[in-house]
């Protein structure tokens, strides 16, 4: 299995958009699967739509409410870019807020 890390921007075979890996690295290593959210270009920023820019200039909004679990042993995935730690933190904060108790 290719190594994947939180903050990687990937392409998944058969799907048109790019995705950001949002799972913690410890989870990825232990489970050998990871959670992703789509990264859409030309999408308006909002409370749960976080603007990101990759080191290779991939730009878009992470759509945090559309989280999906991917098994890279079943779906062909390829890393195309990576976001900064600050952007990982912004997306993680939103995801945590979606699942906190009231």
Closest CA to 37 of 49, 24, 53, 21: 21
**1, pLDDT greater than 80:** no
The total number of structural domains that make up the chain:
1
Question: What is the average pLDDT across 29-39?
Answer: 97
Give the torsion through C-alpha atoms of 56, 59, 64, 67, to 10 deg. -50
What is the mean pLDDT of the segment spanning 37-61?
A: 96
Residue 29 falls inside a structural domain: yes
32 CB-near residues (< 8 Å, 6+ apart): 1, 71, 72, 73
Q: What is the pLDDT of residue 2?
A: 67
CA distance 70 to 28: 10
Percent share of the chain, pLDDT over 70:
98
pLDDT for 52-63, tens place per residue?
999 999 999 999
CATH number at residue 70: 2.30.30.110
On whether residue 3 sits in a domain, the answer given is no
68-90: pLDDT as tens digits: 999 999 999 999 999 999 999 99
Q: CB–CB of 98/64 below 8 Å?
A: yes
């Amino acid at each position: 299995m290719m190594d994947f890390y939180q903050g990687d921007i990937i392409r998944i075979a058969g799907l048109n958009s790019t995705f950001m890996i949002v799972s913690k690295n410890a989870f990825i290593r232990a489970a050998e699967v990871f959670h992703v959210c789509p990264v859409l270009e030309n999408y308006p920023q909002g409370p749960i739509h976080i603007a990101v820019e990759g080191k290779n200039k991939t730009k878009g909004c992470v759509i945090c409410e559309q989280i999906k679990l991917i098994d890279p042993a079943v779906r062909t995935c390829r890393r195309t870019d990576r976001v900064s730690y600050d952007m990982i933190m912004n997306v993680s904060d939103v995801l945590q807020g979606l699942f906190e108790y009231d």
